[in-house]
Every structure is written in C-alpha cells, then in structure tokens.
Structure 1
Amino acid sequence: MYLKYGSASFPLNLPSHRLAGVIEPALDLPSTSPREIISRALDECQAIIAGFNPGEKVVIVTSDITRYTGSEIYLPLLVERLNRQGIPDKDIQVLIALGIHRSQTSHEHEKILGPLYGRVKVIDHDCDDPRNLVVLGKTGNGIEVSINRRAVEADRLILTGVIGFHYFAGFGGGRKSVMPGIASRQACMASHFAVLNPLPGSGKNPLATTGTLENNPVHHAMLEACAMAKPAFIFNTVLSLDKRIIAAYAGHWQTAHEAGCRFYQKHFAYPVDSKADMVIVSCGGFPKDINFIQAHKSMEYASQALCDGGVMILLAECRDGFGNETFFNWFQHKRLDEFEAALRACYEINGQTAYSTLQKAQRFKVILVSRLSSHQVESMGMMPATSLDEALNMAEGMLPEGWKVLVMPEGGSILPVCR
C-alpha cells in the first residue's frame, strides 16, 4: 500500500497482524455522466424555475477556486434553463462566495464559469465593503446578518456549491453559501464563533462537530441567515475522491441540502467497531495537503478513530506552510484555557483551527510528516518526522503491547464513525 504525500507517496510496510482496517468509502461510481446527473437534478426543481419571468434579475452564488464544485459543468446547464424561461445572459450575474478569502483572478473566474466566462457578469463578494452589504436582521444568538447587496436586490437568488463534511458546521454546502459565503466579515467571524460554548472557559460545543446538523449551533445560525436571504432554490453537487460529480441535489434550500447530506453521510462515513491505538492518515496528497490549515481536516477526522493517548501519524507535506500568516502566532498559547480566553477576546477563524489543532495535539501523540521545520511542529505540540518509516520507528516505543492500526489513505474525505 502507498500513501500520498504532496506529489509523491510513501510505501506502508506493516505486519498484517497489526492492521485493524483501511478506512475507505464504500462507493460505486454511477454509470451516468455528470451532465446527466445535473440535468436530472435540475428537472427536480423545474417547477420552481418555471416560475421565473422575463425581465427578472437573477444572481447565482457559487464557490471560489478553493472549493471545487463542478461549476464549469453545472453553471452553463443552469443558465440554459434560465435562458429558456426568457431570462437573457445580461440579466444573470454570478456572485463568487469568497467569505473572507482573497479575490479571484481572471483565470480563476474562467475556471469557475467554464463556457459561461465572458457571457455572464461575474463579481467577487467583498466582506469588507459596507456600501455593498445590506443588514437583514439578527439570528437568535445575536449575529447581525449582513450580506451582499446584489443578492438582496436580485429578483431571484440561486445558491450553488458542493456538499462535504465540515469539521464544526457539520456539512458544507447549502446555507453556507449565504453565511459565511456572501456575508460581512463580522457575520463570518460571529457565525464561526458559535463553535464555542457561551460561557468563558467552557470550551467548544460538542455538537458543533463533523457530520452533525441536529442542535449544531453553527449550523443553526447559518440556517437563520439563509432563511433571511430567501433563496429561490439551491443546486449542490457531491463529488468522488477524484472530483467527479457523482450526485446532485436541487430544490428548496434546506430540504435539498439535507437530502444531499444524508447521501454524503451514507457513502463517506466509515463505521469502525472500536478505536485504534494508532491511526496513520494521509490527506490524499497535493493539493489536499498544500498547507497545514487544509491538512487539519484530515487530522480532525482521523482523531475520531483514535483512542485517547493514542498515536497519530499525519502525512501532510505543507509545501505552502501554514496557509495563513497569523495561524502560527496562536501557538504562543500553550495551555488550552489560556488559548480559549485569547480566542474569545480576539476571535479569528484561523485561530479556531489552531485551537482545535492544539486540543488534538494534547489529547493524542501526533507525529507530523511535513516540510515544516522541527521548531514549528514542536511549537504546535506535535513531533516532527521526515518520512513515514521514521514516524513508524518513533511510534513503536509509544504503543501498548498488541497494538493495532487503522489506515486512512484519503483522510480529508472520509469520516470514521464508531459503532
């Protein structure tokens, strides 16, 4: 077995009696083409599209380049349906849901829009531009929902994106296109802040976790914000590990998303009978391990299959370092209570990821195989290694007699779930 690392891979040499299992999706790829899958999903909400009228202005929200969705395939098919309703290209705008990410280049716009590039207007959301933000109201937990003016003033708002696991919102896609996708910086931060329990020192809400929607405070804040935006419908894809569209869901912004989440949970959650003494996890290679913030997702999912005090070997090249210039600064805080207090005083989304990293580094023995320096890895509470073999040699002295290991070749896509 080979495990991906950046653009290369490491051979995994383990005695067979040590292997408790390989965590991979139980998924048969559909025989239908992505275009057929998209067309069938759009057929499901044709009754909604039939209510669109000539002269109406339509805004379609879609994800930025950091989240591949298959947009270059589905956006042209969606616009074709709108054209049939008498809505010309000039009355359609694509709004890129950047959240707090950087603006996109022209080349990135072209990759997102595919054949539509140059036909319909494309705009990047700017979370810091008060002139183009409109306050819609407040959520039940006090978040002021301020979103992009174009989305508010459109006659019809369509949300598109991709469904996958999210480490504290439960799942991506659906309502996330509104908040954080096209929300103000303050709303983005506040929605993510809901991951913490209300009282200082009470830590992270255990329901704000991967694969959980019920009673998840982050998810519910996003639901309230999305309801205020009043989308006409959503279109969300589900992708295979090699980024092929294998399913699509269209219709009511909440129920269609929930149906997609159920499909994703069924095919990308992996039942394990018991937690292992060691988990070896690869992010799946480049670009999934391009930086540590991206790699953290694999670390989070792998932790679900690991005994307290167990050993995790994380293969994450991190050729672009941490992925954010302020991320590493958070590790000046070595105690979780001190870290949490600093996070509550000055919340940053990347600070939340750093906090989650330190939680796992202190709960488990984590060996990180990466390009990061020894000093950087040790400052994050982990142990550095330069190869999988070196990491295995280090782990051997930390494991109990009779130890067993679970292996995750695509750690950022599969969620282990204990029976």
Structure 2
Amino acid sequence: MHIELKYGNRKLQGEIPFDAQLLQPCIPPPAENPALQVHRALDRPLAVAPFEQIFSAGERVVIVTSDITRYTGSEIYLPILVERLNACGIADTDISILIALGIHRPQTEAEHRKILGPLFGRIKVFDHACDDPAQLVELGETSAGIPVAVNRRVVETDRVIVTGTVGFHYFAGFGGGRKGLVPGVAARKTCMASHFSVFNKAPQTGKHPQATAGVLDDNPVHHNLLEAARMVRCDLLINTVLSPQKEILGVYAGELEAAHLAACEQVQDLYQPRTERVDLAIISSGGEPKDINLIQAQKALDYGCRAVREGGTIVLLAACRDGFGHEHFYPWFDYQDLAQFEAALRENYQINGQTAHSLLSKARRFRVIMVSEFDAEITARMGMEKARDLQQAIDMAHANLSSMPKTLVIPDGGLVLPHQFVKVKTFADPA
C-alpha cells in the first residue's frame, strides 16, 4: 500500500506492508470565491453594527493579524479590509498592521511580504515585542489576578480589527478569536499567567481535564484568555476556516466572541472524523506552516494520539525547518522525570516548558518515531526515536508490532481531531 504525505514543502513516500485506514475530514469545495466570502461576512457581521457604521473618516485603525506560523488567508482579506476602510474615509496613512507574535520571534521581510500580500510597502507593518516595555501598556488584572499588559498600538488608536484563523488548539480548545489579542499582542507576563491554568491547582495533579483540544466549556485557559482579551478594545473580529489545501471555507466577522464561536462550530463539524483505536498511527503534521517548528508540529501528535491505544506506536512527520520554535523549549528536557518536570513548571511556568512537558508525556505513553531535521541524539532526549525518512519509520514501527497491526494514516494531523469509536474506510477504498 503506497502512501504519500506532506513534509515541510515537499512530500515523502512509503510502502505499508499491511492494511491501513485513512483518517481525513470530508471537506466540501468552497461555496464561493474567497473575496466574495470576505465581503459577505463584512456585509453581515455578527452581534455588531454594520461595517460602515463602525468606522468613520479620519480614524486611526490597527489591524492585528497572525505571524507566519499560522496561515490565515491574510493576503486575501487584508486588502479587502483596507479597501473598505478607504471607502469609509480612512486613509492608508491612518492604517497599520500589527503582527501578533505572542512570544514568537520577529518576522523577516519575506515573511511580512507573504502575510501582507499586495499591501506590503503600502501599509505600515509592525511586529509585536512581548518583552519591550516601551511597546506595552498596563491595563490592570483579571478576576483571577492575571496581570494584563498589551501592545500600546491597540490601546492608543481609535479602532482595532483582530484577524486570524480558527482550528483546534491543544489546551486552549480552539485557536483564533481572543488569542489574536492574548497572547497575540500581550506582554510575556500576561501570556504566562493566562496559560498557567492549564494545570490543576493542587501540586502533582497534572493538567485540568477541560484544558484540551476542542473544548471551550469550563476550559480555564480559554476563560482566562477571553477575560484578558476583553480588556482590550476590539471593534471587529474576522476569522477564517481553512481547508487542508489552505482554501477559505468560511469567513466570520463580528463581535470578539460571537464570530469566534461561529467559526469554532464549523471547525468542529469539519475536522472531527470518527475512528476506532489502533496499534499504529502514521501522522503528517500537514507540511508548512503546520510543521515549521516543533512547537507547532507537536499539536499533530497531541491530536493524533487520541486514536492510538495506550502503548501503541506513532510515526510523526514534521520537518521543523525553524527548529524548536523557541530557544527556551529544548532546555526543559533536562527534566526527564515527569513529576519533577511538572514541579519545575509550577515553580517557574513557561508556555514553551508546558509544551515540552506535554510532548514528553506523550512520548512516555506511546512509542513515537519521528521523521524530522533533528538528529538522533536530540530526538532521543525528547523521548522519541529518529528515522531518516518515512519508509525507515514504517519499517521500524512494523518490527515491534504484530504482522497485521490496526493502522491509521492521518495526512493532516495538525488539523484533525480524531473522534472515537466508529470504523473508518480503508486507505485503498474509493472516496
């Protein structure tokens, strides 16, 4: 059985010597061209006034959008936003774009060009810097005592538009929405404090059960992010829902929470295919930007492991051309005992440390064979085994399994959240 899976900007091929099932969403083609979808959403925003009543001539507008690690369709919707702002009497010189880096690295000029599309060189663009006091304004604390400080550009302006895309998030439930503001344009201390509630309050009791992918109800991380984000002005939210081929399937505009929840519903409808538990899952993170670095790529492992029995085997394809994604990620693997690891995080919480803890905990529950740009020593330090390519990974997995293991192939692991327990079709079955 021949398979071909995305890896960075290319595809890897392999032969599976036994039956396999394919787990992928059933995605309809886009109902209309992307520009029409954007205009239609702006014509009928959810729970806010019509676009032309929100914005007035002479106002200054900041548009917040995602960095290169999250493709959103920005090169399509940003020019339409600027066009409609111009029609309201707002000049290009009064519009700026703020890249919601959170705690990520600054963008290169080439990345700015990719994000802004035809607007590059026409509209001012700035990268958020979470550690620069000159860029930050203190807004107070949430009811949970979380200190909220954000980029002063979204405070010292007349109007704010927040944009992004919605998909599953491994502990905030869903991406998009409030995350464009917190952690997107928040201070590091705000990012850390709002994410710390991923853990239960009592020491050594692990993650909060509701702080998981696809869950917003009673999710403490989501509620912290939303309350903090509501302390920042947001006049309009625009969120997209994308296909695995990065086509725009839906555009939702409106109030911060209302538009986000509408997009989350479409993601849940499209990207939770049913499956049964298997012995082996072969997972592609989905290529770039889903596997641009390990912090992004590990989400595919978090989602895909739900379809694998305890102690089963996972092959993970993640090129990670940008390495780990942050310099503070890999040093956390100095903690090889998970209890000590958790204790250290509770003492000095870091988002990247929590991500590292999540990765190591899964590497202890499953045998994980990774195809990436990391060498064997680094891969082993993270609890996984190194394979040079897809075929070697398949061969390594097969050697430790029965002759006919239940096997699942997940081509877009960074998008798909397996849902138990209905048998899926075989890889060779016609669509």
TM range (shorter): over 0.9
Counterpart residue number, 1:360: 362
2:104 to 101, 121, 127: 101
Select which of 51, 54, 60 maps to 2:54: 51
Is the contact between residue 97 and residue 124 of structure 2 (CA under 8 Å) also seen in structure 1? yes
What residue number does 1:338 align with? 340
Aligned CA distance change for structure 1 residues 105 and 286 (closer, same or farther; 3 Å): closer
Q: Name the CA shift for 1:9/1:198 in 2 (closer, same or farther; >3 Å).
A: same
1:370–1:101 Cα change, 3 Å: closer
- Partner SS, residue 182 of structure 1: coil
Q: Choose from 257, 260, 263 the match for 1:257.
A: 260
Counterpart-to-counterpart distance in 1, 2:309 and 2:160: 46
Kindly indicate whether the alpha-carbon contact (under 8 Å) linking 2:104 and 2:326 is maintained by their aligned counterparts in 1. Answer: no
Q: CA deviation at 1:347?
A: 2.0
Assess, with a 3 A threshold, how the Cα gap between structure 1 residues 49 and 144 changes in structure 2: closer, same or farther: farther
The answer as to 2:319 corresponding to 1:322 is no
Q: Is the 8 A contact 1:169 1:210 kept in 2?
A: yes
Secondary structure of the residue aligned to 2:274 is strand
How far apart are 1:319 and its partner, in Å? 4.1
- RMSD between aligned alpha carbons? 1.9
Q: Distance in 2 between matches of 1:306 and 1:13?
A: 17
In the alignment, is residue 195 of structure 1 matched against residue 225 of structure 2?
no
Q: Give the 3 Å change call, closer, same or farther, for CA 128–218 of structure 1 in structure 2.
A: same
Q: Contact conserved, 2:42 with 2:51, CA < 8 A, in 1?
A: no
Moved more, 404-413 or 385-394: 385-394
Distance 1:111 1:186, change over 3 A: same
The code of the aligned residue for 2:314 comes to: M
Matched, 1:27 2:30: no
| Correspondent of 1:298 among 297, 300, 308 | 300
> Which of 240, 247, 251 is the matching residue for 1:248?
251
Q: CA deviation at 1:287?
A: 4.5
Equivalent residues of 1:336, 1:355 under 8 A apart:
yes
CA distance in 2 between partners of 1:351 and 1:190 (Å): 13
| Aligned residue in 2 for 1:277 | 279
Please list the CA deviations of residues 244-269 of structure 1 after superposition, one character each: whole Å capped at 9, or x if unmatched: 22210001110111000000111111
Aligned length in residues? 415
Are the equivalent residues in 1 in contact too, given 2:104–2:325 (CA < 8 A)? no
Mark the CA change 1:55 to 1:8 in structure 2 (over 3 Å): closer, same or farther.
Answer: closer
- Secondary structure in 2 aligned to 1:62? strand
Task: State TM-score, norm by structure 1.
Answer: 0.93
* Helix, strand or coil at the partner of 1:410: coil
Deviation per residue, 1:49-91 (Å, 9 max, x gap):
3232223222111112222211121111112212222222222
| C-alpha distance in 2 between matches for 1:377 and 1:193 | 26
Take 1:71 and 1:390, find their aligned partners in 2: how far apart are those partners? 38
Change (3 A) 1:377 1:134: same
What is the CA–CA distance in structure 1 between the aligned matches of 2:322 and 2:98, rounded to whole Å?
A: 28
Cα deviation 1:380-407 (Å, max 9, x = unaligned): 1222222333333333353357531111
Identical positions, percent:
53
Contact kept? 2:69, 2:292, Cα under 8 Å: no
Residue 62 in structure 1 maps to residue 65 in structure 2: yes
Does the C-alpha gap of structure 1 residues 254 and 408 become closer, same or farther in structure 2, counting only changes over 3 Å?
A: same
2:37 maps to which residue?
Answer: 37
Q: Distance in 1 between matches of 2:101 and 2:389?
A: 35
Partner residue in 2 for 1:230: 233
| SS of structure 2 residue aligned to 1:80 | helix
Q: Secondary structure at the match of 1:304?
A: helix
Aligned residue number for residue 5 of structure 2: 3
Decide whether aligned partners of structure 1 residues 122 and 354 sit closer, same or farther in structure 2, where only a CA change above 3 A counts.
Answer: same
Residues 168-211 of structure 1 deviation map (CA, whole Å, 9 limit, x = unaligned): 11111110011001111110111222211122211111211111
CA distance in 1, matches of 2:165, 2:359: 25
Correspondence 1:163 to 2:166: yes
- Amino acid of the structure 1 residue aligned with 2:241: V
Question: What is the CA deviation profile of residues 3-55 of structure 1, one whole-angstrom value per residue up to 9, with x for unaligned ones?
Answer: 23342412232323xx2x21111111124111111111111126143232223
Whether the 8 Å contact between 1:331 and 1:354 is mirrored in structure 2 is yes
**2:41 is aligned with what amino acid?**
A
Alpha-carbon spacing, 1:169–1:352, altered in 2? closer, same or farther (3 Å): same
2:78 to 51, 56, 75: 75
Q: Does the CA contact (< 8 Å) of 2:31 and 2:249 recur in 1?
A: no
Task: Check conservation: 1:4, 1:10, Cα contact below 8 A.
Answer: no
Q: Distance in 2 between matches of 1:231 and 1:82?
A: 16
1:3–1:12 Cα contact (<8 Å) kept: no
Q: Distance in 1 between matches of 2:153 and 2:223?
A: 24
Contact 2:101–2:129, Cα closer than 8 Å, also in 1: yes
| Superposed CA offset, 1:256-294 (max 9, x none) | 11000000111111112x211211111233453343223
State the one-letter code of the partner of 2:277. K
Contact 2:43 2:51 in 1 (8 A): no
8 Å CA contact 2:68–2:111 kept in 1: the answer is yes
8 Å contact from structure 1 (residues 316, 370) kept in 2: yes
- Cα deviation, 1:327-356, whole Å, max 9, x if unaligned, reads 222112111110011112222222111100
How many angstroms does 1:300 deviate by? 0.9
Amino acid at match of 2:283: V
Which residue identity is paired with 1:325? E
Structure 2 counterpart of 1:91: 94
Deviates more, 1:71-80 or 1:49-58: 49-58
Query: Please, which moves more after superposition, 214-223 or 277-286?
Result: 277-286
Asked if 2 retains the 8 angstrom alpha-carbon contact of 1:197 and 1:203, the reply is yes
Structure 2: unaligned runs, 5 residues or longer? 422-431
Stretches of structure 1 lacking an aligned partner (at least 5 in a row): none
Name the residue aligned to 2:424. none
